[in-house]
Amino acid sequence: MTQQIDVAAQAAEVIAHLRNFIKIPVGVSNKHVHLTQEDYDRLFPGEPMNRKKKLNQGDDFASDKLVTLVGPKGTMERVRILGPCRKYTQIELSMTDARMLGIPAPIRISGSIEGTPGLTIRSPHGEITVPQGVIVAKRHIHVQTKDAVLMGLHSGQEVCVRIESAERSAFLDKCEIRVGDDFTLEMHIDTDEGNAVGAGADATARIIG
């Protein structure tokens, strides 16, 4: 009797092995704020949001606008607003930032803000208090849709990566895959994680499982 070969299963195994060799650039995200148009207009009435630096994902950019975050235990000045405006207001902090402000921010993937704490955002023109939106962003890897097919990855999947850096290479588990047509292959971690793994400009991540 001829042995039955499951080609699809074997191909998937080969792909899972080969993607381990792909070096994914690592970007460290500092604390930042995304605003709805309405919240932006309340903080910067009549002022356009100007593009200071384009970011790697979609049409995201670092704007020229800075705000102060106010929590029960402290304030943080010069926190950058990222554009363009979104459907929800979201404040992304590291755990260290959250502790300094006195806000129990949960680890969430961007956009998942239901039930999260809020805070006060202050600009030179006024301040707003948002009821929710403060998160510690869950570490994630942006993957372009076609690349995701080639690499055998899907949105919401969690992988373990090895971060390779000059002096603090490390393994990071539970990295969430995010797939999008306008994404560019890149891993995003926050400043706490970046410091922990010594992530300079040359740090790369390889999916190992």
What is the β-pairing status of strands 170-180 and 204-207?
unpaired
Q: How far is the CB of 56 from Zn ion (least distance, A)?
A: 9
> Which residues have a Cβ under 8 Å from the Cβ of 14 and sit 6 or more positions away?
none
DSSP conformation letters of 35-73: --HHHHHHHSTT----EEEE-SSTT-EEEEEEEEEE-SS
Which residue's beta carbon is nearest to the bound Zn ion?
188
Nearest CB to Zn ion, comparing residues 26 and 128:
26
Number of residues that bind Zn ion (CB under 5 A): 1
Q: Does 19 engage in binding with Zn ion (CB under 5 A)?
A: no
103 by DSSP, 3-state: which? Answer: coil
Q: How far is the CB of 127 from Zn ion (least distance, A)?
A: 27
Nearest CB to Zn ion, comparing residues 65 and 188:
188
Rounded CA gap, 141 and 126, in Å? 36
Q: Choose which of 44, 67, 188, 205 interacts with Zn ion (CB under 5 A).
A: 188
Nearest CB to Zn ion, comparing residues 39 and 190:
190
Q: How far is the CB of 154 from Zn ion (least distance, A)?
A: 17
Applying CB under 5 A, the span of 113-121, 167-175, 185-193, 195-203 interacting with Zn ion comes to 185-193
Q: How far is the CB of 115 from Zn ion (least distance, A)?
A: 21
Q: How far is the CB of 143 from Zn ion (least distance, A)?
A: 11
Residue 31 per-residue DSSP state:
S
Nearest CB to Zn ion, comparing residues 74 and 156:
156
Rounded CA gap, 13 and 18, in Å? 9
Enter the tokens of residue 181.
Answer: 């047509």
DSSP H stretches of helix in 86-156: 95-101, 145-151
Q: How far is the CB of 140 from Zn ion (least distance, A)?
A: 6
For residues 76-95, which are near Zn ion according to CB under 5 A? none
Rounded CA gap, 73 and 66, in Å? 20
Binding site for Zn ion (CB under 5 A): 188
